[in-house]
Amino acid sequence: EVQLVQSGAEMKKPGESLKIACQTSGYSFSSYWIGWVRRVPGKSLEWMGMVFSGDSDTRYSPAFEGQVTISVDKSTSTVSLQWTSLKASDTAIYYCARQREYGWFDAWGQGTQVSVSS
Amino acid sequence: EIVMTQSPLSLPVTPGEPASISCRSSQSLLHSSGFHYLDWYLQKPGQSPQVLIYLGSTRASGVPDRFSGSGSGTDFTLKISRVEPEDIGIYYCMQALEIPTFGQGTRLEIK
């Protein structure tokens, strides 16, 4: 069974750094892209970027380029999303999802709530 | 950026009745492969999104056959032939032809 299990909720202050994780299992990790999607309260879903787990080829949405970093740890089949300096506007639920050819998402993590407030 | 526009944004439905959601894109989603890169997702309350339809009209594994997707070019529709109480949630269309973008979401509620 394909599973994506995300790290727990985080409460941070503006300016702090953060790394959240998405641990995968049940499939050949290196053969798929993993994407990150966020949902800001009261708004729709936004695609942030994706990484190919086999070679760490990474693509970002222009809206998030330079704001976050997506990385891969093949030894633990884990994909991470990190910030160096959080803002209040980063408050959202962040989902990782396995992205298939043609771009659709066939499996999702349970989501990680990130709250940024002074 | 391809802009996705859904309607309606709120959809009250009586169980057993049909429902339909429209999704329009700012440019054609037809890929050179012949497929339309348009997907539908449902986010049930308290859950992660789940795929219903991909490539415009292909039902994902395990999705009940009361869900169907159709359309071409810039106009797409998700239909539920007979709404069940467990179908409540927010429905999103998403294009994957370019950098993925989602529609605003349509909240389906039971009357």
pLDDT digits (tens, 9 = 90+) for B36-79: 999 999 999 999 999 999 999 999 999 999 999 999 999 999 99
From CA A102, how far away is CA A15, in angstroms rounded?
37
- Beta-carbon contacts of B61 under 8 Å, excluding residues fewer than 6 positions away, are none
Our CA-based measurement puts residue A91 at a distance from the nearest CA of chain B, in whole angstroms, of 17
Q: Is the peptide bond before B64 cis (omega within 30 degrees of 0)?
A: no
Give the type of residue at A50: M
pLDDT recorded at residue A9: 98
Where b means 16+ CB within 10 Å and e means fewer, A37-50 reads bbbeeeebbbbbbb
pLDDT recorded at residue A83: 98
pLDDT recorded at residue A1: 95
Which of B51, B97, B102 comes nearest A44 by C-beta? B102
Contact state of A103 with B96 under an 8 Å Cβ cutoff: yes
Regarding beta strands B19-25 and B101-102, do their DSSP bridges make them parallel or antiparallel, or are they unpaired? unpaired
Q: Return residues 61-100 of B near A (CB < 8 Å).
A: 92, 94, 96-97, 99-100
Contact of A36 with A55, CB cutoff 8 Å: no
- Helix, strand, or coil (residue B5): strand
pLDDT recorded at residue A102: 85
pLDDT recorded at residue A101: 85
Residue B84 pLDDT level (bands cut at 50, 70, 90): very high
Long-range contacts of B68-71 (CB under 8 A, 24+ apart): B69/B38, B69/B40, B71/B23, B71/B36, B71/B38
- For residue A33, CA distances in Å to A29, A56, B37 come to 9, 9, 17
Residue of B nearest to A99 (CA): B96
Q: For chain B, what percent of residues have pLDDT higher than 70?
A: 100
Q: How does pLDDT run along chain A (118 residues), one tens digit per residue? A: 999 999 999 999 999 999 999 999 999 999 999 999 999 988 999 999 999 999 999 999 999 999 999 999 999 999 999 999 999 999 999 999 999 988 899 999 999 999 999 9
